[in-house]
Structure formats: structure tokens, C-alpha cells
Amino acid sequence: MTVLIDEATRRSILSFTFDFRSTTAGVTVIILLLGVLLAREVIRVHGGPRAAQRIDVLNVSVYPLLLAFAALVLVRLVSLV
Amino acid sequence: MSILPVYLLSANAVVCATYLAAVAMAEVLLLTTGLLAGAVAHVTLVAVLTGHAIAAPRAPYRRLLVALAVPSLLRLLGLVVPVASTSVPVWYFTAGTPALLAVVLAARLVEMPPGLLGRPRTVWVQLLIAASGITNGLLAYLVLRPAPIAEGPLLVPLAAVAVAVFSGLLEEVAFHGILQGIAVEVFRSGAAGVAVSTAALTIMYLGSLSIPFVVLMFSTSLFLGWAVNESGSLWGALGSHIALVVGLVVIWPLLLP
């Protein structure tokens, strides 16, 4: 009952298998992560006076998404033990 | 001469209202159509907002675009990261850590007004604002009656910390700190800032699937936004929001089962 884990999210976590969520919502988030990483590299290579500022905008999405994947892998490993 | 305030007729208002409507549509899609449609909508929104912020570096609303991308990022992280086989407090830690990083990066990038987290002018006013969270939390519990997310002497404090940090702190900084702070600067109006943050927070609470709870969160957000705007400090609202969510999902379900 919070923004991060609301009732709809809780139901989705409990009613769908992890595999289903990975192959639906997970894939879209991976596409987003690949897209922002690609854009980051294009901007970095292209350079220009505003490149650093533009990369900072992308970093707001890049680092949390990368950390999410790290957390996901860690939790999956822990749940397997 | 128009009877509407000037800020409502500006390009900033059109852009802000359009993206807020898009966030609302993404949430409604998630609730009505399903997981994939909702996730695609939120992913598209993050990509469009980020692209717009990059493509319009001199636009006065540029920082608002970054702040508006944060709610969609929070929703995506909440949907994708938690694993059903782990306990709910662990969901908060796993989804909340990247979400908190997103909020910190956004706050740094958009330069959230630093005075909001500075020393408050009147401490007792902030304490009074914070205390309102206790009654609001009880009201929210009576409306929703959620099951406790943790039981036992070890898990309850852990759950309280997780919810306080990854819900209370995170939401308050994201909505009444970053979004409202930037909206006030962009629109040069405190009322507009409160309206933007309240609209965004209310939209994100649609997922509670309870209209009375959404109405309660709307009025709470309106009050906290006004309190932040009037007092110039986020501390009271932060305390109130933490008391509300910790009471709602950790304490009241144990005290009033």
C-alpha cells in the first residue's frame, strides 16, 4: 500500500510466476536499459558542450536499472540456496 | 483578459499536464489491461521524458521532465525486482535500493531546493506536521485493513525500517521534495507546485485499488504539500509520511488485527 509496492503490484508479484514477469515486464525494462545505455554511448562518443549534462539525464535511469538487475540476481541466488 | 492564472496558460503547464495525464494512463493501463501493457506504457514514458529532457536542454521545464520520469521508474522497479518467494520487507529492500538511487540522482541533477532539508525555522511546527501522520496512518489502516507485512521481534523492526526508508522517505523526497520544489520554481507558484505533486502522488496510489484510500492520500498529499510550501521545510512532511506508511502496513495491523 505504498507507491513502490501497492496492492496491484503485490497481486502481480504473487499471482504471476517470476518467469512470466521476467518475459513480459522484465523484457521491456531490459529494452529500456539497453536503449539508455546505447544513447549514453552515442552521446559520449559524439561529445559536444552539453554531452556531460545529457549523460547525467540518462544516468537517472541507467544506474537504478543496473542496480535492479544486480539486486535481482542476488535475490535469485539467495532464494536458490 | 483571462481569469485563469498566467502559469496555467504557459507551455510549461501544457507539457506538465500532458505528461501527468500520460502517467495516469500508464497506471490505468497497468490496472485494467495487464502487466505487459502497463510496463510498456511506463517504459515508453521514461524513454520519452528522458529523450525530451535531452532534446530540450534550454527549455524552462527541462528539470520538471526528469522529476516526472521518477514515478514511472519507481513503478517499473517495484514490478520487476521483487521475488515472490521472499518476504515483503525484502521486496522493499530489493526494489527500494535502486528506486532510492534514482531519487538521489534525480535530486542531484535537478538541484532540489536545498533549503527543504535544511534546519527548519520552527521545529514545533514540523513536529506537529509529523504527528499528523499517526492519525492519518490509523485512518488509512481503517480504510484498507491490510494484513501485517511482518511478524516476530526480528522482522517487525526490519519491516518498519524498510517501509520508512523505501516508502516514506523515498516518496516524500520524490514528490514533495523534487517534483514540488521544481514545479514551484518552473511555475513561480506555490499552489501550482502543490497541485503537481498531489496529482502525481494520487495517480501513483491508484494501484491501492481502493477509492476511499486514494481520496485519503489525495487529501494527505494536499496537506503535506501545503505544509512544505508554507514552512519551507520537508522534515515535518517526511515524519508524517513515514508515520503514515509504517503505521499502515507494520504497526496498526499488529495492534488492531
Residue A32 located in a structural domain: yes
Q: Do B73 and A24 touch (CB under 8 A)?
A: no
State yes or no: pLDDT of B230 exceeds 80. yes
Mean pLDDT in residue range B82-91: 83
Q: Domain spans of chain B?
A: 6-255
The pLDDT of residue B32: 93
Instruction: Please state, rounded to an integer, the average pLDDT across all residues of chain B.
Output: 92
Residue A1 located in a structural domain: no
Instruction: Find the distance separating the first CA and the last CA of chain B, reported in whole Å.
Output: 58
DSSP states along A39-79: HHHHHHHH--TTHHHHHHHHHHHHHHHHHHHHHHHHHHHHH
Alpha carbons A47 and A65: distance in angstroms, whole number? 24
Task: Give the DSSP letter of residue A34.
Answer: H
Q: Do A57 and B54 touch (CB under 8 A)?
A: yes
**Mutation choice for B interface testing from A14, A60, A72 by most B CBs within 10 A:** A60
What ipTM was assigned to the predicted interfaces of this complex? 0.91
Alpha carbons B115 and B112: distance in angstroms, whole number? 9
Alpha carbons B241 and A11: distance in angstroms, whole number? 24
- For A7, the closest chain B residue by CA position comes to B208
Contacts of B210 in chain A (CB under 8 A): 7
Q: A25: domain range?
A: 7-80
B240, three cell numbers: 508524517
Q: Give residue A16's region: left, alpha or beta (phi > 0; psi -120 to 50).
A: beta
CA atoms within 13 A on the CB side of B56: 17
Q: Do B76 and A75 touch (CB under 8 A)?
A: no
In the three-class reduction of DSSP (H, G, I as helix; E, B as strand; rest coil), residue B142 is classed as helix
For the four alpha carbons of B184, B186, B188 and B193, in that order, the dihedral sign comes to negative
Task: Give the DSSP letter of residue B8.
Answer: G
The pLDDT of residue A26: 85
Contacts for B63 with CB less than 8 Å, ≥ 6 apart: B53, B109, B110, B111, B182, B185, B186
pLDDT tier, A49 (very low <50, low <70, confident <90, very high otherwise): confident
Residue A40 located in a structural domain: yes
Contact A4, B207 (CB under 8 A): no
The pLDDT of residue A27: 87
Kindly list the distances between the CA atom of residue B165 and the CA atoms of A2, A7, B135, B242, in Å, as whole numbers in the listed order: 12, 19, 20, 8
The count of CB pairs under 8 A between chains A and B is 179
The pLDDT of residue B7: 61
Q: Please, what's the b/e burial string for B164-192 (b: 16 or more CB within 10 A of its CB; e: otherwise)?
A: bbbbbbbbbbbbbbbbbbbbbbbbebbeb
Domain count, chain A: 1
- For B249, the closest chain A residue by CA position comes to A1
Contact B16, B196 (CB under 8 A): yes
Phi then psi dihedrals of residue B82, to 5 deg: -60, 145
Contacts of A4 in chain B (CB under 8 A): 74, 77-78, 92, 95-96, 99, 166-167, 170-171
Residue A27 located in a structural domain: yes
- For A34, the closest chain B residue by CA position comes to B47
For chain A, how many residues are written?
81
pTM of the predicted model as reported, rounded to 2 decimal places: 0.92
The C-alpha of A45 sits at a distance from chain B's nearest C-alpha, in angstroms, of 16
Contact B92, B205 (CB under 8 A): no
pLDDT tier, B4 (very low <50, low <70, confident <90, very high otherwise): low
Alpha carbons B79 and B83: distance in angstroms, whole number? 10
Nearest by CB to B82, from A5, A7, A20: name it. A5
Contacts of A2 in chain B (CB under 8 A): 163, 166-167, 171, 245, 249
Mean pLDDT in residue range B153-161: 93
In the three-class reduction of DSSP (H, G, I as helix; E, B as strand; rest coil), residue B43 is classed as helix
Residue A2 located in a structural domain: no
Contact B90, B150 (CB under 8 A): no
Nearest by CB to B39, from A8, A24, A43: name it. A24
Contacts for B224 with CB less than 8 Å, ≥ 6 apart: B129, B172, B176, B237, B240, B241
For chain B, how many residues are written?
257
The pLDDT of residue B8: 61
State pLDDT tens for residues B47-75: 999 999 999 988 899 999 999 999 999 99
State yes or no: pLDDT of A1 exceeds 80. no
Alpha carbons A11 and A51: distance in angstroms, whole number? 41
B223, three cell numbers: 496537506
Residue A41 located in a structural domain: yes
State pLDDT tens for residues B188-208: 999 999 999 999 999 999 999
